[in-house]
């Protein structure tokens, strides 16, 4: 009985870690895109200020 409960607990832990990993991957991709957009915007602003 203890082995079965242990397996269930392990399965739950693995599922929870997989869900957390997926969330963190999505969050990381989002933050990378925000950074890219900010860098792109900064570069455009610098170009425009040099033209004036």
CA atoms within 13 A on the CB side of 25: 6
Tens-binned pLDDT, residue by residue, of the chain (52 aa): 577 889 999 999 999 999 999 999 999 999 999 999 999 999 999 998 887 6
What is the model's pTM? Answer: 0.74
DSSP 12-49: HHHHHHHHHHHHHHHHHHHHHHHHHHHHHHHHHHHHHH
């Amino acid at each position: 009985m203890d082995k079965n409960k242990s397996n269930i607990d392990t399965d739950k832990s693995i599922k929870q870690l997989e869900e957390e990993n997926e969330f963190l991957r999505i969050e990381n991709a989002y933050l990378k895109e925000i950074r890219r957009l900010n860098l792109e915007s900064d570069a455009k602003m610098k170009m425009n200020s040099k033209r004036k």
